[in-house]
Structure 1
Amino acid sequence: MALQQPRFYGIGLGPGNPDYMSVRAREVLEKADRLVHFCKRGRRGNARTIADAVVGADPQREIALVYPLTTEVPADHPDYAAAIRSFYEQSVQLLLREAEAGLTIGVLCEGDPFFYGSFMHLWRRLKDLVPVEVVPAVTAMSGAWTHAGAPITWGDDVLTVIPGTLPYDDLVRHLAGTDAAVLMKLGRNLPKVRAALGAAGLTDRAIYVERATMIEERIVPLSALPEDEEAPYFSLIIVPGEGRRL
């Protein structure tokens, strides 16, 4: 399928292993004039690293959108919101100039673009201005429970996806009210998430998954994870349901 110009793409690259990348994602990666990725200052973006298996480094094609800050200021602080909002506005203007020059633009997204993705903030600003195609993908949580050999929902189980950034009491409430759970955004929140799982009586069912589907993948019962462990960016906890089995 020929790319229409100008056009934006949100390219879901999957959980990390390039073998799980869709045919459509590979097609757009190979043909887009510009490949955009989010990153921390001085680092290569996670999504750009995943794309290496399909497209090598090419400075002429690449646009790095460097976050003005990440964890330096709490996400609920007004300064954080102001800085990130300005960052997205400036990024959109930059990409619109590329589109006005007749170029096709692919924004690289680890996992699925519409699941806790930075791309959504660009999409919200672009969707009424230019045609945007979003390429869906396998999520990290899907790769995690599959590689862990842990079917996440049985029968009528209800699955809840919970950000680890929530306050402790909210974590406990959500965990107590669901049959199965996926806990995202661990990082420095891991001790709080551990405590909430313990309070909800779910520690024994919880499985810690780090870098799901990648070469460095690590899967261990949460109860076996050292208490002083630090969770990297690519990590989550799954709590499989125990619903109806036939």
Structure 2
Amino acid sequence: MGRIICCGLGPGDPDLMSVRADREIRAATQVAYFRKKGRPGQARRIVEGLLAQNVCEYPMEYPVTTELAFDSKEYAQLLADFYDAWADRLARLAREDNVVVLCEGDPFFYGSFMHLYSRLQGRAELHVIAGIPGMAGCWNVVGQPIALGDDVMTVLMGTLPEEELNRRVNNEDALVIMKTGRNLVKIRRALTAAGRLEEAWLIERGTMPGERIARLEDIEPGDCPYFAIVLVHGRGRRRELCE
């Protein structure tokens, strides 16, 4: 069996990749990465200038992104077929030489590679190199500790039903809300109902070119790109420690 090495690229700044990931990427002869059709791909942008001149590139273009409801049967089937096909192709490519798969953030933290990982079991020698999760890059650029003392940090998806969001944000602990984009209006309503909108930050393209850091209450509801995350810092024992 050949080797398939998934490199976690971190939050977006190439300087925040691990030494091991950098070494594997520079030595790669075959590189695969996910991207939306017609786009260069965020993972590919991060490694610009690092790849060898003779490297073979394999863009894995999603068959669907936001065109269909993510919980529909058609959406699930299209993506299942996509991952099946690419698992087969990567297994074949790995018999010729090692394949490096690029993955933003950490591969096992909501990364697309995990769907290939399960399909490639027993078909290739698999290695996963950890990366800094995108949310860690975002809370560091804000310059405040996301959690302190006895805070519990909750990671939520903006795609959750509004009733579920309302229930989970109604606390005093740290919140990380991913998959914002077209869900931002719903997220704002949930945070407003919980009395936490004034504490919330929107970080767009954290650690990347074009980075923007702003209070969520100051952002227009429709002004939210894909690479954005909402943070609400925990309270925990912060107050009593500061007194």
> TM range, normalised to the smaller chain?
over 0.9
Residue 94 of structure 2, aligned match among 96, 99, 111: 99
- Superposed CA offset, 1:174-193 (max 9, x none): 11146110000011111111
Structure 1 residue 243 displacement after superposition: 1.5
Q: Determine the structure 2 residue equivalent to 1:6.
A: 2
User: What is the deviation of 1:143?
Assistant: 0.8
Q: CA deviation at 1:55?
A: 2.3
Q: Is 1:235 the equivalent of 2:235?
A: no
1:67 aligns with 2:51: no
Question: In structure 2, how many angstroms separate the alpha carbons of the residues matched to 1:139 and 1:129?
Answer: 28
1:196–1:60 Cα change, 3 Å: same
C-alpha spacing 1:128/1:200, structure 2 compared with 1 (3 Å): farther
Once the two structures are overlaid, the 10-residue window that deviates more, 60-69 or 116-125, is: 60-69
* Residue number among 74, 80, 83 corresponding to 1:79 in the alignment: 74
Cα distance 1:152–1:54, how it changes in 2: closer, same or farther (>3 A)? same
Judge conservation of contact 1:13–1:25 (CA < 8 Å) in 2. Answer: yes
| Larger displacement relative to structure 2 (179-188 or 44-53) | 44-53
* Equivalent-residue separation in structure 2 for 1:82 and 1:226 (angstroms): 35
Give 2:144's aligned residue. 150
Query: After superposition, what is the alpha-carbon deviation per residue over 1:148-177, rounded to whole angstroms, capped at 9, x for unaligned?
Result: 012100101000000101010111111114
Partner secondary structure for residue 64 of structure 1:
strand
Contact 1:7 1:105 in 2 (8 A): yes
Counterpart CA distance in 2 for 1:85 and 1:42 is: 21
Tell me by how many angstroms 1:85 deviates. 0.1
- State the AA in 2 paired with 1:9: I
Q: Report the alpha carbon displacement of residue 53 of structure 1 after superposing the two structures with TM.
A: 4.1
How far apart, in 2, do the equivalents of 1:178 and 1:85 lie?
A: 38
- Displacement of 1:7 in angstroms is 0.5
Instruction: Report the TM-score, using the length of structure 1 for normalisation.
Output: 0.93
For residue 121 of structure 1, give the secondary structure of its aligned residue in structure 2: helix
| Residues 228 and 69 of structure 1, relative CA distance in 2, 3 Å threshold | closer
Q: How does 1:12-51 map to 2 (within 5 A)?
A: 12-51=8-47
Distance, in Å, in 1 between the alignment partners of 2:81 and 2:125 is 23
* Residue among 85, 108, 131 paired with 1:114: 108
1:182 aligns with 2:209: no
Please give the alpha-carbon distance, in whole angstroms, between the structure 1 residues aligned to 2:221 and 2:32.
Answer: 38
Aligned length: 239
The aligned amino acid for 1:12 is G
1:207 matched to which residue of 2? Answer: 201
Unaligned runs of 5+ in 2: none
Residues 190 and 113 of structure 1: CA distance in aligned 2, closer, same or farther (over 3 Å): same
Q: Which runs of no fewer than 5 residues in structure 1 stay unpaired?
A: none
Q: Alignment RMSD, CA only?
A: 1.5
